[in-house]
């Protein structure tokens, strides 16, 4: 009887461990970060293709594949940084750094995700597959080298957002707008420099131990960079919204009404960064700061009304 009970207990314990490991792998993919992949839908919305079911389905499939691919990138990044993460107050709780997920299991899971997502990306559209593969290659370079290079580390992150937008246009076969690329890259630079500032302030003396590039930054320098990209982002979006070329293409002259939402969103994010000491994770800020989230929803709603109801 004792042997039977011990065997049953061991089997139950193994199942719990397996389940916990799988949950840990899913957490390592950082589902809360998948909000970044909504940039895939930018071309769909602004090309006024929301009414085309096939394009909506293709864009949704592209979004799902980018979630899987970016999840694999996060797992690889956690594998590379697991020793440094163990010295970080919050990141030491990540499944790989804490030991809840073994490095071998994480490696195998990441390989399956990469092969599956890139393969399906090429099956969906060859051009989209090329962009997805480029996104993965750039992020691997970032994980192993580029994140140590000051300024370039943030620019590479911004390039990842641009690739998402390009992928969204490619998968529904519409030309990518230069305005979309400009506004996306500037916004991504803004978020990237804000993230570095938060890391520098939060980690203080241990900042360079956690991320090598942080030893090349200081708060004053980052504030200057943030000021530059803040002004550039607002000006670029305002010029886009009020451009005669855009008015003729989109058949609305009132896109300028969305500029106040962009202004408030940037100002609110700066408030959260400087007054609340947050900003280390743009995705968490968006999901947890209600005024910012409501503002984004209102901006999107206004854009849809203007673009699709020709107000």
Alpha-carbon separation of residue 289 from 78, 240, 282 (angstroms): 26, 27, 10
- Prediction pTM value: 0.84
Residue 162 is predicted with a pLDDT of 94
Q: Is residue 144 a contact partner of residue 183, using CB atoms and an 8 Å limit? A: no
Residue 220 is predicted with a pLDDT of 92
Alpha-carbon span 280 to 210, nearest angstrom: 13
Q: For the chain, what's the residue count?
A: 311
Residue 87 is predicted with a pLDDT of 67
State the CB neighbour count (10 A cutoff) for residue 253.
14
pLDDT digits (tens, 9 = 90+) for 45-99: 998 999 899 999 999 999 999 999 999 998 888 888 787 777 666 777 778 888 7
Residue 232, judged by CB atoms within 10 A of its CB (0-12, 13-18, 19+), counts as middle
**8 — pLDDT class (breaks 50, 70, 90):** very low
pLDDT digits (tens, 9 = 90+) for 201-249: 887 766 555 667 788 888 999 999 999 999 999 999 999 999 888 888 8
3-state SS, the chain, equals: CHHHHHHHHHHHHHHHHHHHHHHHHHHHCCHHHHHHHHHHHHHHHHCCCCCCHHHHHHHHHHHHHHHHHHHHHHHHHHHHHHHHHCCCCCHHHCHHHHCCCCHHHHHHHHHHHHHHHHHHHHHHCHHHHHHHHHHHHHHHHHHHCHHHCCCHHHHHHHHHHHHHHHHHHHHCCCCCCHHHHHHHHHHHHHHHHHHHHHHHHHHHHHHHHHCHHHHHCCHHHHHHHHHHHHHHHHHHHHHHHHCHHHHHHHCCCCHHHHHHHHHHHHHHHHHHHHHCCCCCCHHHHHHHCHHHHHHHHHHHHHHHHHHHCCC
**5 — pLDDT class (breaks 50, 70, 90):** very low
- Where are the chain's structural domains? 29-176, 177-311
11-15, 118-122, 298-302: range with lowest mean pLDDT:
11-15
- How much is the average pLDDT of 278-282? 77
Alpha-carbon span 68 to 31, nearest angstrom: 10
pLDDT digits (tens, 9 = 90+) for 100-152: 888 888 889 999 999 999 999 999 999 999 999 999 999 999 988 888 889 99
What's the token pair of residue 189? 């630079």
What's the token pair of residue 175? 């030309």
Residue 207 is predicted with a pLDDT of 58
What Rg do the C-alpha atoms of the chain give, in angstroms? 21
Q: CATH topology for 29-176? A: Tetracycline Repressor; domain 2 (1.10.357)
């Amino acid at each position: 009887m004792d042997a039977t009970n011990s065997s049953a207990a061991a089997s139950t314990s193994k199942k719990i461990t397996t389940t916990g490991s799988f949950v840990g792998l899913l957490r390592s993919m950082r589902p809360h970060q998948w909000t970044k992949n909504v940039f895939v839908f930018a071309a769909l919305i602004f090309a006024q293709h929301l009414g085309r079911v096939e394009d909506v389905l293709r864009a949704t499939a592209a979004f799902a594949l980018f979630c899987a691919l970016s999840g694999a990138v996060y797992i690889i990044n956690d594998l590379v940084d697991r020793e440094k993460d163990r010295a970080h107050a919050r990141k030491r709780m990540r499944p790989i750094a804490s030991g809840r997920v073994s490095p071998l299991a994480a490696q195998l899971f990441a390989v399956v995700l990469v092969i599956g997502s890139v393969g399906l990306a090429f099956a969906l559209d060859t051009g989209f597959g090329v962009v997805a593969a480029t996104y993965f290659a750039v992020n691997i370079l970032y994980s192993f080298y580029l994140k140590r290079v000051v300024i370039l580390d943030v620019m590479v992150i911004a390039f990842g957002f641009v690739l998402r937008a390009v992928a969204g246009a490619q998968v529904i076969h519409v030309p990518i707008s230069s305005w979309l690329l400009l506004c996306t890259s500037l916004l991504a630079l803004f978020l990237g420099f804000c993230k570095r500032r938060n890391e520098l302030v939060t980690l203080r003396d241990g900042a360079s131990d956690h991320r090598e590039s942080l030893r090349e930054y200081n708060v004053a320098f980052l504030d200057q960079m943030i000021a530059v990209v803040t002004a550039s982002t607002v000006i670029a979006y305002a010029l886009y919204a009020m451009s005669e070329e855009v008015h003729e293409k989109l058949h609305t002259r009132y896109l300028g009404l969305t500029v106040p939402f962009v202004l408030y969103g940037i100002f609110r994010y700066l408030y959260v960064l400087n007054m609340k000491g947050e900003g280390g994770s743009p995705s968490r800020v968006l999901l947890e700061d209600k005024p910012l989230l409501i503002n984004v929803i209102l901006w999107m709603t206004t854009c849809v009304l203007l673009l699709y109801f020709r107000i």
